[in-house]
Chain A
């Protein structure tokens, strides 16, 4: 392993651990809010739980820059499908307009516990999502049938005297939130310092780990964010292709992903408590080979964030219209910037002497 890689790879692990730690902290706050809401449902407590979801989600979006290289989150047996599967067929979870008795919530033969909900996930179809961020989101907001705002689920859906299966709905919400905490805890454990875990091996395998870091950045930039999360909804103009469709929070998912990419590139992360984690970065490694290229990529990443922040919520309205519709133009600008960003990452990889950056399905 080249000597100069060690501190860069080590610091990457520090950033990963800090970001997952903050995500878990925010998700624990979500769990407290959810349990308080289910214990005594009220409009105020529902709003608090929704705000906690939004805050935790803001952190989680940053962590997606640590995906796509078969790390602890998505290595085949990793928990990512339980954490963040989408799109969600909401009728698999609970009743919807026209089918009020649908879903696992209303199926009294189904036992609502962690084991059963894990087993039910994507059973009989990829959209049959049972746990994870978007299951919780649906349970907090409900279906989004409004053109101008998010779902408008009433807190009374959780009040036994006012809605069928309210207690089961509450239990479902609690269990999937607990499951999310468990899964994030496991991922964090894999990145804990000074343990015999994935992180230790990752730091040891400097060259290969550096490749993984760039694969993660490139895949999220081009294939997932620009491709699946922006170009597909641009093409389809369909809410079905919007990630956080119940809460209308997709615009923040996009910004969070773009910021997570920048955090890795610059080796800099501002924690929940405001403290800043800084250290040797990929940017510095590339700059040592090609300073102009590194600077260009830094600017491009900043530009991608600015353009992502310009997307106007709700995203499902932003993608609709003819080619000149202002929302579509705004989203297209983000795509174009991300495509340039991916090209810059490719150049960076070449500057570092790498040859293979793709992802191949295992099966």
Chain B
């Protein structure tokens, strides 16, 4: 047997395994979502199973993680505001660490902004960028006393980027109006996290009819595509272009906290987990397995190489020790992400017969 044949045989065996895995997943999950009184065709069962998995294995647990961290963020801010001068530095460190953990959970949950994230416009509510310092300062002066008053504060002064500004750029002091405001902001994030957790749980509980399944798949695939584009365009390439023109506000997201690359890696890791089947975890959810279920093994077989390219480029970003090197390596990362996006928009969209469409973050 020649080396090429060996590879071919290995790939076929691997794809057979993947197909069996995907079929098993479809059968295991479909029973819970079948429309009463009518047995949907096999393809619909697979689709319904996939949608249920998106919620059961992704959105619900990821929303739970975010909802676990967000209250701790509020508590850490409360601790900071209550601290005395002796404990202030330690309290600040704890608040910053908890902000980082909360943003990590948010980056993972929001990598694909479907379902409640889309319906509630959560990214615009709690992750509005760029931060507007003047808006934050105005909001601090207005000293909002409750959640009703916080409704009158615009998103650029609230959310995770605003807290980053209050914790790193203009660090708040204990017992100060700024600290009290930061605590309010954290409270808003906590409330949103709980609302998201509840909304995803309720959606899973209620299930989907055939039409809703079709829409949910369309939404998920489109927003997976949008998640890739956000990473290379909004987060990497666009700030780079702005910086090249000398724009005053040009900087990468999360740069004040020094967590830019860390959060890009989180975002990518989430997309990656949704893209590629984990052979070691038979219950895992992935677009690759879904492609196999839908009888598109060739497309499924092409995904690992594309994902591996992004893996390599993202790992290189992590190793970049200075901004100049980071800027150079961003080119490799965007190229590999664009190749993956092209695969999604052309090959995968064609195979799965879904329409790549407009969503709310595409304007100019």
Write the residues of chain A forming the contact surface with B, with a CB cutoff of 8 angstroms. Answer: 68, 74, 122-126, 215, 218-219, 221-224, 226-229, 231-232, 235-238, 240, 320-323, 342, 346, 349-350, 354-361, 363
Q: Which residues of B contact A354 (CB under 8 A)?
A: 355
What's the Cα separation between A226 and B359 when bound, in Å? 10
Q: Which residues of A contact B359 (CB under 8 A)?
A: 222-223, 358
Q: Is the CB of B237 within 8 A of A358?
A: no
Q: Which residues of B contact A349 (CB under 8 A)?
A: 355, 357
Q: Which residues of B contact A235 (CB under 8 A)?
A: 121, 124-125, 128, 154-155
Q: Is the CB of B121 within 8 A of A358?
A: no
Q: Is the CB of B357 within 8 A of A218?
A: yes
Q: Which residues of A contact B151 (CB under 8 A)?
A: 321-323
Q: Does B108 contact A (CB under 8 A)?
A: no
Chain B 241-257, CB-CB to A under 8 Å as 1, else 0, gives 11001111110000000
Q: Using A222-B358, A355-B349 as known contacts, say yes or no to A125 and B135 having CB atoms under 8 A apart.
A: no
Q: Is the CB of A355 within 8 A of B360?
A: no
Shortest CB distance B143–A (Å): 16
Q: Does B229 contact A (CB under 8 A)?
A: yes
Q: Which residues of A contact B33 (CB under 8 A)?
A: none
What's the Cα separation between A238 and B237 when bound, in Å? 26
Q: Does B329 contact A (CB under 8 A)?
A: no
Q: Is the CB of A124 within 8 A of B355?
A: no
Q: Could you write out 21 A-B pairs with CB less than 8 Å apart? A: A125-B242, A223-B360, A223-B362, A235-B124, A235-B128, A235-B154, A235-B155, A236-B128, A236-B155, A321-B151, A346-B355, A346-B358, A349-B355, A354-B355, A355-B353, A355-B355, A356-B356, A358-B345, A359-B362, A361-B229, A363-B237
What's the Cα separation between A226 and B151 when bound, in Å? 20
Which of B237, B247, B355, B363 is A228 in contact with, Cβ under 8 Å?
A: B363
Which of B125, B148, B248, B356 is A358 in contact with, Cβ under 8 Å?
A: B356
Q: Which residues of B contact A346 (CB under 8 A)?
A: 355, 357-358
Shortest CB distance A243–B (Å): 12
Shortest CB distance A37–B (Å): 31
Q: Is the CB of B229 within 8 A of A125?
A: no
Q: Is the CB of A360 within 8 A of B349?
A: no
Q: Using A356-B355, A361-B237 as known contacts, say yes or no to A231 and B360 having CB atoms under 8 A apart.
A: yes
Q: Given contacts A227-B363, A236-B132, A360-B229, could you give 19 more A-B pairs where the C-beta distance is less than 8 Å?
A: A124-B246, A124-B248, A125-B242, A125-B245, A222-B360, A223-B358, A224-B363, A227-B360, A227-B362, A235-B124, A235-B128, A237-B154, A237-B155, A238-B156, A240-B132, A322-B151, A357-B355, A358-B358, A358-B359
Shortest CB distance B271–A (Å): 17
Q: Is the CB of A356 within 8 A of B345?
A: yes
Q: Does B341 contact A (CB under 8 A)?
A: yes
Q: Is the CB of B156 within 8 A of A236?
A: yes
Q: Which residues of B contact A218 (CB under 8 A)?
A: 357-358
Shortest CB distance A275–B (Å): 33
Q: Which residues of A contact B341 (CB under 8 A)?
A: 360
What's the Cα separation between A223 and B359 when bound, in Å? 6
What's the Cα separation between A238 and B121 when bound, in Å? 17
Taking CB atoms and an 8 Å cut-off, the chain B residues in 111-164 that contact chain A are 121, 124-125, 128, 132, 135, 148, 151-156
The 9 closest A-B pairs by CB, nearest first: A237-B154, A223-B362, A228-B363, A224-B363, A322-B151, A125-B247, A227-B360, A223-B363, A235-B155
Shortest CB distance A87–B (Å): 12
Shortest CB distance B41–A (Å): 20
Q: Is the CB of A125 within 8 A of B248?
A: yes
Q: Which residues of A contact B358 (CB under 8 A)?
A: 215, 218-219, 221-223, 342, 346, 357-359
Shortest CB distance B208–A (Å): 17
Q: Which residues of A contact B148 (CB under 8 A)?
A: 322
For A346, give the chain B residue with the smallest CB separation: B357
For A220, give the chain B residue with the smallest CB separation: B363
Chain B 292-325, CB-CB to A under 8 Å as 1, else 0, gives 0000000000000000000000000000000000
For B241, give the chain A residue with the smallest CB separation: A363
For A227, give the chain B residue with the smallest CB separation: B360
For A358, give the chain B residue with the smallest CB separation: B356
Which of A122, A231, A321, A360 is B152 in contact with, Cβ under 8 Å?
A: A321
What's the Cα separation between A125 and B249 when bound, in Å? 8
What's the Cα separation between A52 and B222 when bound, in Å? 43
Shortest CB distance A357–B (Å): 5
What's the Cα separation between A68 and B362 when bound, in Å? 10
Shortest CB distance A227–B (Å): 4
Q: Which residues of A contact B229 (CB under 8 A)?
A: 360-361
Q: Is the CB of B154 within 8 A of A238?
A: yes
Q: Max chain B CB contacts within 10 Å: which of A74, A218, A223, A229?
A: A223
For A356, give the chain B residue with the smallest CB separation: B356
Q: Does B57 contact A (CB under 8 A)?
A: no
Q: Which residues of B contact A74 (CB under 8 A)?
A: 364
Q: Max chain A CB contacts within 10 Å: which of B135, B148, B238, B247?
A: B247
What's the Cα separation between A227 and B247 when bound, in Å? 24
What's the Cα separation between A228 and B359 when bound, in Å? 11
Q: Using A125-B246, A235-B128, A235-B154 as known contacts, say yes or no to A357 and B361 having CB atoms under 8 A apart.
A: no
What's the Cα separation between A240 and B132 when bound, in Å? 10
Shortest CB distance B22–A (Å): 24
For B158, give the chain A residue with the smallest CB separation: A235
Shortest CB distance A277–B (Å): 27
Q: Which residues of B contact A363 (CB under 8 A)?
A: 233, 237, 241
Q: Which residues of A contact B345 (CB under 8 A)?
A: 356, 358, 360
Q: Is the CB of A361 within 8 A of B245?
A: no
Shortest CB distance B34–A (Å): 25
What's the Cα separation between A357 and B353 when bound, in Å? 13
What's the Cα separation between A42 and B123 when bound, in Å? 48
For B341, give the chain A residue with the smallest CB separation: A360
Q: Which residues of B contact A236 (CB under 8 A)?
A: 128, 132, 135, 154-156
Q: Max chain A CB contacts within 10 Å: which of B135, B245, B248, B360?
A: B360
What's the Cα separation between A74 and B363 when bound, in Å? 12
Q: Is the CB of B154 within 8 A of A124?
A: no
Q: Which residues of B contact A357 (CB under 8 A)?
A: 355-358
What's the Cα separation between A222 and B128 when bound, in Å? 19
For A238, give the chain B residue with the smallest CB separation: B154
Q: Using A124-B247, A219-B363 as known contacts, say yes or no to A358 and B152 having CB atoms under 8 A apart.
A: no
